[in-house]
Amino acid sequence: METIAEQPAMAPMGIDPMLPSQYRIQGVRQETDDTFTLELLPVGSGNGFSFAPGQFNMLYVFGVGEVPISISSDPDDAPAIEHTTRVVGTVTKAMRLLKRGDMLGIRGPFGSHWPVEDVAGRDVVIVAGGIGLAPLRPALYRLMAEREKYRKIVLLYGTRSPEDILYRSELEHWRGKFDLEIQVTVDRAASTWRGNVGVVTTMIPRAPFDPSNTTAFICGPEVMMRFTVMELQKRGVSAQHTFLSMERNMKCGIGLCGHCQYGPVFICKDGPVFSLDHIAGLLSKAEV
């Protein structure tokens, strides 16, 4: 297996990766108090837009600015795409005000992807924290679309409170299919919450997977990912089969500007999905 998830074509041939394509907003879904999903369709044919689970786009709010956001929809629905994001800065605040029919510029897709095709015949454990579930959602779609190829699929999802659970109805739908083990936990809850309370890492020791034949996909805050890695390693999941999606301040999306340098790699070009053995030494380094 490659140490970096093999990259598909970044953008259709002949398309300038610095030139945004126009997308029209088909809908805006409020997911939680501070998180929303944009449903987007390309204006025109979409120029053959396709993406792999884990890749991201640069979303341009005209006259405001551009931000990198992971694609969170089903890859098989492309060129229709969805982006789930939290309101955190100027651009995402402006983005939240957009309505159905408004336009956005999109560059991408960029970066590496979850190696979904390489994990056939294995258990797959997906550990998501907070909005980190969004970049993993396309992987879940792809895994569920070809469910028979994989052994156990386990989703461990931790978030701040019950009100912050993303894609709630979808999680319930998947849970009802009985071929995907879903465990959700929250960091804090009133007594009315009928589920787990505690950090997501506490679910790893007893999660139903065979560590010797497991591939892990992890996405969430870096602290959460570090502790998740430790717990997975305690269970015996190898670094080679552990993949993380990293986040830094990406600007160009194609490894030219250097804003997202992470030690010897660029998150936008070499990542955002890395195998643990490729970046293990960097995870706990404050300097990077």
Partner 1 sequence: MTIQTLEPIIRANPFFQGMDDRYIELITGCAKNVRFSEGQVVFREGDPADQFYLIRSGLVSLQMMVPHRGLTTVMTVGDGEVLGWSWLFPPYQWRFDARTQEPTHALAFDGKCLRTKCEEDYDLGYEIFKRFMQVITERLESTRLQLLDVYGNDR
Residues that bind partner 1 (CB under 8 A): 34, 86, 88, 129-131, 158-160, 164, 185, 187-191, 193-199, 201-202, 205-206, 220-221, 223-224, 227, 247
Q: Which is nearer to partner 1, 160 or 259 (CB)?
A: 160
Q: Which is nearer to partner 1, 12 or 195 (CB)?
A: 195
Q: Which residues does residue 70 pair with via DSSP β-bridges, in sequence order?
A: 56
> Is the bond preceding 79 in cis, omega lying within 30 degrees of 0?
yes
Residue-level length of the chain: 288
Query: Minimum distance between the CB of residue 42 and partner 1, rounded to whole angstroms?
Result: 29
Query: Minimum distance between the CB of residue 158 and partner 1, rounded to whole angstroms?
Result: 8
Alpha carbon separation from 254 to 56, 79, 151 (Å, rounded): 11, 21, 35
Q: Which is nearer to partner 1, 19 or 190 (CB)?
A: 190
Q: Which is nearer to partner 1, 125 or 246 (CB)?
A: 246
Query: Minimum distance between the CB of residue 141 and partner 1, rounded to whole angstroms?
Result: 23
Query: Minimum distance between the CB of residue 187 and partner 1, rounded to whole angstroms?
Result: 5
CA distance 56 to 70: 4
Cα three-residue angle 240-243-248, rounded to 5 degrees: 130
Q: Which is nearer to partner 1, 146 or 222 (CB)?
A: 222
Q: Which is nearer to partner 1, 168 or 193 (CB)?
A: 193
Alpha carbon separation from 286 to 136, 170, 223 (Å, rounded): 26, 36, 11
Q: Which is nearer to partner 1, 136 or 143 (CB)?
A: 136
Alpha carbon separation from 69 to 194, 202, 239, 242, 285 (Å, rounded): 32, 28, 26, 22, 24
Query: Minimum distance between the CB of residue 202 and partner 1, rounded to whole angstroms?
Result: 5
Query: Minimum distance between the CB of residue 227 and partner 1, rounded to whole angstroms?
Result: 6
Query: Minimum distance between the CB of residue 99 and partner 1, rounded to whole angstroms?
Result: 24
Residues 6+ apart with CB under 8 A from 90: 64, 65
Return the CA Rg of the chain. Answer: 18
DSSP annotation string for 119-152: GTTSEEEEEEEGGGHHHHHHHHHHHHHTGGG-S-
DSSP SS3 for 90? helix
Query: Minimum distance between the CB of residue 176 and partner 1, rounded to whole angstroms?
Result: 18
Q: Which is nearer to partner 1, 10 or 127 (CB)?
A: 127
Residues 6+ apart with CB under 8 A from 117: none
CA distance 198 to 179: 25
